[in-house]
Amino acid sequence: MNGNQDNPKIVWGPLAAPSLDDIEAMALDALESLPEPFRALSRDLVCVVAEFPSQDIVRDMDLETPFDLLGLFEGIGLTEAGDTPETGQMPNRIWLYRRPILDYWAEHTDTLSEIVTHVLIHEIGHHFGLSDDDMYAIDRGER
């Protein structure tokens, strides 16, 4: 410890890890702060927060551990959708996985809100029909 008086000591005892509801609130704030064209196109998305991806998803995606997935878009992207949803079609969803997000947060310098926003926007990119490669290229400024 450096004894720096300008850095107040954090009392960790009463603090709890952010809950599912806390992560959901961050995601909803991020959705509300999207620029209008994107917010309008994302209006029908349902955002769900769970502790971890299901075992089926872990198996289907051939993940080494459930901590390997921070979020997932589930549904039919805008580029694949017809004019009218098929009968019985589930709403498009973005899943955010609390424990993997918290684990990532503990290992990086980004704020939790920044991480939640980044994961949410990445999954919204899938809703818009972008692939992971497309989004990585956008992040690198190549597109």
Q: 47-84 pLDDT, tens per residue?
A: 999 999 999 999 999 999 999 999 999 988 777 765 55
What proportion of the chain, given as a percentage, has pLDDT over 70?
84
* In a domain? residue 8: no
Using the predicted structure, report yes or no on whether residue 13 has a pLDDT greater than 60. yes
CA dihedral 20, 21, 23, 26 (to 10 degrees): 170
CATH of the domain at 132: 3.30.2010.20
DSSP state of 11: -
Q: How confident is the model at residue 1 (pLDDT cuts 50, 70, 90)?
A: very low
Please report, for residues 71, 94, 127, 133, the alpha-carbon distance to residue 44 in angstroms, rounded to integers and kept in the order given.
18, 11, 11, 25
Domain count, the chain: 1
Using the predicted structure, report yes or no on whether residue 123 has a pLDDT greater than 50. yes
- The angle subtended at Cα 66 by Cα 119 and Cα 22, nearest 5°, is 45
Residue 85's SS3 state is coil
Mean pLDDT of the chain: 85
* In a domain? residue 10: no
Please report, for residues 26, 99, 103, 116, the alpha-carbon distance to residue 108 in angstroms, rounded to integers and kept in the order given.
18, 14, 9, 13
Using the predicted structure, report yes or no on whether residue 18 has a pLDDT greater than 80. yes
Q: Residue 110: which domain range?
A: 20-139
* In a domain? residue 5: no
* In a domain? residue 13: no
91 close to 42: Cβ distance less than 8 angstroms: no
* In a domain? residue 107: yes
Q: Which of 112 and 39 is assigned the larger pLDDT?
A: 112
Cβ atoms < 10 Å from Cβ of 14: 5
Q: What is the pLDDT of residue 7?
A: 61
